[in-house]
Copies of this chain bind each other. A is one copy, B any other.
């Protein structure tokens, strides 16, 4: 697979000229950060002067050097800025224009039935910005007029119901944070075609706060048949995407969602209604949701019979394997980035489990021989991304970076060899193996498969 833009979509921190980096050991010497020793002396004199004044805002301006931003304050400190509401709906900085979703050329035959990947290497924390949420459509995305949209509940119910969006907005509401991962995330790692960046290897993944009506409330209101074990969820886009949902998942924590990250769903994410099925693969989170049919058997629709099945070593198909098992990935340093100076690095990544909560994440820098525990940011939420961080000092020597997650069920993320032993290499879906990033002694990072 061709890799079009590997050099432009990386955050600068790992790709800048060497002189812009400081190791922890060297941080006391600020000469390499753009202020040389002589100027530092001047800075110190300026500071002393500044301390004698009340507010001391002249410290930077008073330090004389060859940097125009130090001789004269930069223009943004000397001019009137832009008014409030210059953007009534705000946008990222113009300097972040390269941080976008990207398509993988050649991966799909059309742009309507395709994928746009999230730039995980550039993101922080566990919330995915809605503007960078991955896209996976089957017949393109639509921007539905919410006044004309309806949700029908039919099938084995006492009385079929049709809801408008306004009906749903007046009903009991819940807000919960959950990850969303396409079942085909990391698909190409089943083979030997290791893709170059984490955007393409793991970028069909997001974490969001979802708001909507518990699906159980809607089913109760329709008087669903208590003996029914399945639901069919159907979307209103041209593909008419249909998926079987188990009644167990539907009654547990599924949501008919209208909100994502505080606002209405984005059109690419199913505006105005999307089914949220926590822990289950993304294809079942049906977008532009228009119908839920209560039934007594799985529906064996196209996208759960010929697609989204795993071809096992014995030639059998593994079907309806919906839960996304525990998985983690280091997002930086990651493939396509480069370490330019020895010293401290904060290895960072994401961990999640479709069966519960992240309990522990371990990181190895030697390909899995030794493991140390990473710091988890915040309190892990059920079926939600957890950000981890890990202190590392790089000594200009080769390294193999891996992470593995332990979840609340006791499950431990498998090495690739373990997963392949059980499932072979002919699957497309449900690859949750440990990811390895190789750091060469030159500092270059690439994607390798061990074992």
Residues of A at the B interface (CB closer than 8 Å) are 11-13, 16, 20-22, 27-28, 30, 33-35, 40, 43-44, 47, 50-51, 54-57, 59-60, 69, 74, 76-96, 99-103, 110-112, 114-116, 122-133, 135-137, 139-148, 150, 152, 154-156, 159-167, 169-177, 209-211, 221, 232, 234, 236-238, 240, 242, 258-259, 261-268, 271-272, 288, 290-291, 293, 295, 299-301, 343-346, 348, 377-379, 381, 387, 389, 391
Measured between beta carbons, the chain B residues less than 8 angstroms from A293 are 47, 50-51, 56, 59
CA distance A130 to B122 in the complex (A): 17
Q: Is the CB of B54 within 8 A of A299?
A: yes
Known A-B contacts: A34-B164, A175-B378. Give 5 more (CB < 8 A).
A13-B166, A56-B232, A74-B144, A81-B140, A177-B378
Query: B84, B101, B165: which contacts A114 (Cβ < 8 A)?
Result: B84
Measured between beta carbons, the chain B residues less than 8 angstroms from A127 are 127, 209, 261-262
Measured between beta carbons, the chain B residues less than 8 angstroms from A161 are 27-28, 30, 33
Q: Is the CB of B290 within 8 A of A60?
A: yes
Question: When A77-B237, A160-B47 are in contact, do A90 and B133 touch as well, CB less than 8 Å?
Answer: yes
* CB-based nearest B residue for A140: B81
CA distance A164 to B291 in the complex (A): 53
Measured between beta carbons, the chain B residues less than 8 angstroms from A51 are 155-156, 293, 295
Measured between beta carbons, the chain B residues less than 8 angstroms from A13 are 165-166, 169-170
Q: Is the CB of A238 within 8 A of B81?
A: yes
Q: Is the CB of A131 within 8 A of B89?
A: yes
Query: B112, B135, B238, B264: which contacts A96 (Cβ < 8 A)?
Result: B264
A-B contacts, 12 of them at CB < 8 A, read A13-B170, A16-B166, A47-B160, A60-B150, A69-B150, A81-B141, A86-B141, A89-B101, A95-B145, A128-B262, A171-B346, A175-B378
Measured between beta carbons, the chain B residues less than 8 angstroms from A57 are 234, 240, 242, 291
Q: Is the CB of B80 within 8 A of A112?
A: yes
Q: Is the CB of A129 within 8 A of B132?
A: no
CA distance A30 to B345 in the complex (A): 60
Q: Is the CB of B95 within 8 A of A211?
A: no
Measured between beta carbons, the chain B residues less than 8 angstroms from A145 are 74, 95
CA distance A211 to B126 in the complex (A): 10
Q: Is the CB of A43 within 8 A of B154?
A: yes
CA distance A211 to B173 in the complex (A): 29
